[in-house]
Structure 1
């Protein structure tokens, strides 16, 4: 039986990845998708949803001879990240859905 992660767990993981990479230097879009363990199409869908909700912003930056896409949490995104952590701990106390 295939078990899928609930959307709240995926969103929390994406926000965690952005926060972690952002604190070190910058959160590149490809790194965030890999960190969240998502396929590119699913990752794009969730990132678009988070961007439209105002949780993240996307910036294009020059890196060497190419352009990369970096992601940052907005103030609302930081607030919601803490909110999702709390919801996650309340809903998923068992390790049934642990990553």
Structure 2
């Protein structure tokens, strides 16, 4: 029997911010790219994206793409700051502890 191993919320938030930060447009990404990059189901990703929007970490923008309009998400200055925080916390809590236990 395989037991599902879930990621902590902090790692999901970090991954979402990282996907936007390091996307093709550096600091901006399409929702589908974020979902694929973070390896989440659409419903879960939308929950976290809305949470990040409500917290002021990211903002939604509509841009012209040829004859179509696309929705992109950008990191706000607060989002960039929090991304660095989450990265530091992740390194202290998860990466360093994983290394120490080996």
TM-score, scaled to structure 1: 0.88
Matches within 5 A, 1:1-99: 1-21=3-23, 22-23=25-26, 26-93=28-95, 94=98
Structure 2 residue ranges without an equivalent (≥5) = none
Larger Rg: 2
Runs of 4+ in 1 over 6 A off after TM superposition: none
1: CA distance between counterparts of 2:18 and 2:74? 11
- Supply the RMSD in Å over aligned alpha carbons: 1.4
TM-score, scaled to structure 2: 0.86
